[in-house]
Amino acid sequence: GALGYRVAYQGVPGAYSEQAVLQLFNAMPVQPCPHDQFDDCFKAVERSESDFALLPFENTLGGSIHANYDLMLRYNLHIVAETQLRVRHCLLANPGVQLSEIQTVMSHPQALAQCDGYTKSHGWKSVAYHDTAASGQKIKQDCSRDVAAIASSRAAEVFGLDILDQGIEDDDNNFTRFALISKVPMAPNSDVPVKTSLVFSLEDQPGALFKAMGCFSLRGIDLLKIESRPKGPYIPCTPSSPACKQGNAMTQQVFILDILADQSEQRTKNALHNLRELASFIRVLGSYPVSQP
């Protein structure tokens, strides 16, 4: 519509996820739609209440956000774009509060961990809260003078807070990769590098992963990411697998893979056909343009 695409994100206005929505859509009209949980964002797209959802999948400091990979397997949705957001944490306080008055900082546990050195150097106490921007909202509501929040500069704008300090993270290589989720797949432009994400599971046998990787390396397809984790509840257990027979789900691994290729290319089709012969489960999450940080 005239108001732009409706894009679901997790958090409250001022959250890093909202900032990522504005960054990805840039000059295009967009309506960021806040939701409490990641699951609510998936539901909004599935029910066509939102056109897209933008969700975090990986952080350079914290690693993969597995909850969203699990939700991708639960819902029949597709990744159609990505964006890398440079996360710059700011110290926010109520208007007029001096740095010397602060005794406690409040934020999401991951943000607290990323600013741990800074917080300790001031001798402040850390208090975990469910969301970075919401911690800003809370200190505003409580009219706190001795509590500061760690959140984005946008959260300061949204809630009318002062920025006492910025770029307070211990490591400045702090990026979060967000993926745009859609009900329908979209064919990426052929003139930009394209990435395909997939999730698969293998039979327990020697050399299984080596053979699976061969499906791609033999066709000159670059791997951008590979990660393994215990199989979640959304992947069927292979009855023939010894791990399944023993009821040991921990040894049944699922692999998350990003390759530098489009799923519509013949070499990728051949690689995936080959992988299907080895895999007990395979799901392509989508092909989309590679974002440049």
Tell me the pLDDT tens digit for each residue of 70-105.
999 999 999 999 999 999 999 999 999 999 999 999
Instruction: Please indicate whether residue 210 is annotated as part of the active site.
Output: no
Of 25, 57, 159, 178, catalytic? 178
Q: Specify whether the CB–CB gap between 254 and 201 falls below 8 A.
A: yes
**Is 238 designated active site?**
no
**Of 176, 196, 238, 268, catalytic:** 176
Record the pTM. Answer: 0.89
Which strand ranges, in their side-by-side order, compose the sheet holding 194-202? 223-230, 253-259, 194-202, 279-289
pLDDT of residue 103: 97
pLDDT of residue 263: 96
pLDDT at 206: 87
* CB proximity list for 128: less than 8 A, separation 6 or greater: 106, 107, 108, 109, 112
Tokens standing for residue 218: 């033999």
pLDDT digits 0-9 by tens, 5-42: 999 999 999 999 999 999 999 989 999 999 999 999 99
CA distance 127 to 125: 7
The number of CA neighbours under 13 Å toward the Cβ of 293 is: 11
**Using one digit for the tens of pLDDT, what is the confidence trace for 196-253?**
999 999 987 889 999 999 999 999 999 999 999 887 766 665 555 444 444 455 457 8
265-286 burial, b at 16+ Cβ within 10 Å, e below that, comes to beebeebbebbeebbbbbbbbb
User: Under a CB-based contact definition with an 8 Å cutoff, are residues 181 and 79 in contact?
Assistant: yes
Please state, rounded to an integer, the average pLDDT across all residues of the chain: 91
How confident is the model at residue 242, as a pLDDT?
A: 46
Percent of residues, the chain, with pLDDT higher than 90 = 80
Query: What's residue 268's pLDDT?
Result: 97
* High-pLDDT (> 70) share of the chain, %: 92
Say whether 149 sits in a helix, a strand or coil: strand
CA distance 51 to 81: 13
